[in-house]
Amino acid sequence: MTDSYIFAANLDDVKPGKMFRVKLEGKLLLLANVEGTIHACDEMCTHEEVSLALGALQGNCIKCSLHGSRFDLLTGKPLDEPADEDLRIYPVKIEANTILVNIN
């Protein structure tokens, strides 16, 4: 099976230090720009059904606004309780001015 990347957004849509929500093939994802590097993850916190887009970027981490759990955007690992399940992270490629994500 080959990796298949699909268009998620234009690079200009995700400003440095900001997040951007997208829906790809029925999945809600969050794109985050950390110092020029784009990360993609599930939009919802693994602890409660709350959008991580309401949270904040802190270095390579995203912090949930509800209970304060932080997730590493490189690994998906939760760094703080109460979250104890990994956040799904998706591979990202940048081509020209577009962000492509592999959601398989």
- Confidence tier at 1 by pLDDT (50, 70, 90): very low
In sign, the C-alpha dihedral spanning 22, 23, 27, 28 is positive
In a domain, 1, yes or no: no
In a domain, 39, yes or no: yes
Overall number of domains in the chain = 1
In a domain, 95, yes or no: yes
Instruction: Tell me which amino acid residue 80 is.
Output: D
Range of the domain at 12: 6-101
pLDDT digits (tens, 9 = 90+) for 51-67: 999 999 999 999 999 99
Measured between alpha carbons, how far is 36 from 18 in angstroms, rounded to an integer? Answer: 10
Q: Which CATH number is 24's domain given?
A: 2.102.10.10
Q: How many residues does the chain have?
A: 104
pLDDT digits (tens, 9 = 90+) for 13-47: 999 999 999 999 999 999 999 999 999 999 999 99
Cβ-based neighbours of 49, under 8 Å, separated by 6 or more: none
For the entire predicted model, the pTM comes to 0.93
Percent of the chain with pLDDT strictly greater than 90 = 94
In a domain, 59, yes or no: yes
In a domain, 26, yes or no: yes
